[in-house]
């Protein structure tokens, strides 16, 4: 299948608990059907357990296109379920950050996303895994976990993407430095021992955290992981780094470690939770790998974020 219009049967799965998910199903289905897409079934979920069971049923029903509406965590979970199959993923950005949509150049409004989906092309993208758990954007430990734990549904609902900045300030004030070791099982880099760390992250895609970039060269179709580590430093230095997050050039600052690879193992002292696209899903020690071209996804015809190469 080269375009969404070629789909013989499409299922729509909406996370009604997402920030913009409550009123989305009716508008999404109506827009997609008027655009000529054959929507065969519609499902609303409110929890991860419901999402897993619904995706299993949708896959068993034989749909060749599954349109998933929700935040980055919802879409990443769905991508992990569809990875390695011939089923194509459609994305409706209904969360707070919607960083995957930003990476893939999918419009942020529901009507625009539906129109782009109905007329879009199919590409394939890489899927990251942390201890086997899927992620599309970034996996991280340290400050980002504190941000995720600070983000409440109420804060996201009222502030939208600005909630990330508020949560980051609160999490920074409570952050405790940690030790980390980065091991590279393929031997492409020397083991790195890190002291007094603020954050260590492993990126598969380009954007995370409401529009920040992993690095200036990161991409979701480049078949590599971008690893960065930010050490503890005076507040003024972290402010300088924060100003460079949008374009990813912070990785060029002195003291910030950045490398690309296809496999890395992270050990921390103490063991720490790992944030996968906004969801705390595993813990260190963690091995990060990449599944090349694992997920077929619909993007706008004008998007240059990825291509189809099988």
Residues identified as active-site: 279
Comparing CA positions, the residue from 222, 276, 269, 218 lying closest to residue 246 is 218
* Omega prior to 270 cis, within 30 of 0: yes
């Amino acid at each position: 299948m080269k375009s969404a219009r070629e789909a013989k049967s499409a299922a729509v799965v909406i996370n009604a608990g997402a920030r913009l998910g409550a009123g989305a199903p009716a508008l999404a289905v109506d827009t997609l059907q008027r655009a000529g897409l054959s929507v065969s079934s519609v499902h609303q979920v409110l929890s991860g357990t419901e999402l897993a069971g619904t995706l299993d049923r949708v896959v068993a029903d034989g749909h060749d296109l599954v349109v998933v509406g929700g935040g980055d965590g919802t879409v990443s979970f769905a991508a992990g379920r569809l990875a390695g199959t011939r089923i194509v993923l459609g994305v409706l950005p209904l969360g707070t950050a919607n960083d995957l949509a930003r990476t893939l150049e999918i419009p942020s409004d529901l009507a625009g996303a539906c129109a782009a989906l109905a007329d879009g092309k199919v590409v394939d993208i890489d899927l990251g895994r942390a201890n086997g758990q899927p992620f599309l954007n970034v996996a991280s430990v340290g400050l980002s976990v504190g941000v995720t734990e600070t983000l409440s549904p109420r804060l996201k609902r009222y502030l939208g993407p600005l909630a990330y900045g508020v949560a980051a300030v609160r999490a920074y004030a409570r952050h405790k430095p940690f030790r980390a070791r980065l091991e590279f099982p393929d031997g492409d880099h020397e083991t790195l021992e890190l002291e007094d760390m603020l954050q260590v992250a492993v990126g598969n895609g380009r954007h995370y955290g409401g529009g920040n970039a992993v690095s200036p060269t990161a991409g979701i179709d480049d078949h590599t992981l971008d690893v960065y580590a930010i050490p503890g430093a005076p507040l003024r230095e972290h402010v300088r780094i924060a100003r460079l997050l949008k374009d990813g050039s912070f990785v060029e600052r002195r003291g910030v470690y950045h490398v690309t690879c296809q496999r890395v193992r992270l050990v921390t002292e103490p063991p720490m939770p790992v944030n996968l696209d906004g969801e705390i899903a595993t813990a260190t020690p963690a091995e990060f790998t990449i599944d090349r071209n694992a997920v077929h996804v619909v993007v706008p015809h004008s998007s240059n974020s990825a291509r189809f190469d099988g």
